[in-house]
Every structure is written in structure tokens, then in C-alpha cells.
Amino acid sequence: MSVKEPEMAITQLSAQAVAELMAWLGEYHAQIWDRQIEDDIIPHGI
């Protein structure tokens, strides 16, 4: 799937649905960031 497909779908969402999606994406991004930090710190023993 390309990025264009979800972009097109998002343009069809209501403002409320976009707000819900943004909240979910924020949480998902935070989880990815946390995993990335853990992967960087744990191997180095910091």
C-alpha cells in the first residue's frame, strides 16, 4: 500500500473522525518512539 491510499481515505473523513485518528496516531507514534529509545539505551547499558 502506498501513502497516497490512506491520504485519499483521510480526506473523506469527518472532522471528528480526523480528530480521533490524530489522537490514535499520536499514541502510536509515542509507542514507536519509546521502543526506539529502549532499543538505543538497553544495548549500551545506560
In sequence order, the 6+-apart residues with CB closer than 8 A to the CB of 27 are none
Structural domain boundaries enclosing 25: 4-44
Query: Is pLDDT above 90 for 16?
Result: yes
CB of 40 within 8 A of CB of 32? Answer: no
Cα–Cα distance for residue pair 12/14, rounded to 1 Å: 7
Q: Which of 1, 25, 21 is nearest to 10 (CA)?
A: 21
Number of domains making up the chain: 1
Q: Which amino acid is at 26?
A: G
Per-residue pLDDT reduced to its tens digit, 30-43:
999 999 888 888 77
DSSP 11: T
Mean pLDDT over 2-30 rounds to 97
Residue 41's identity, in one-letter code, is: I
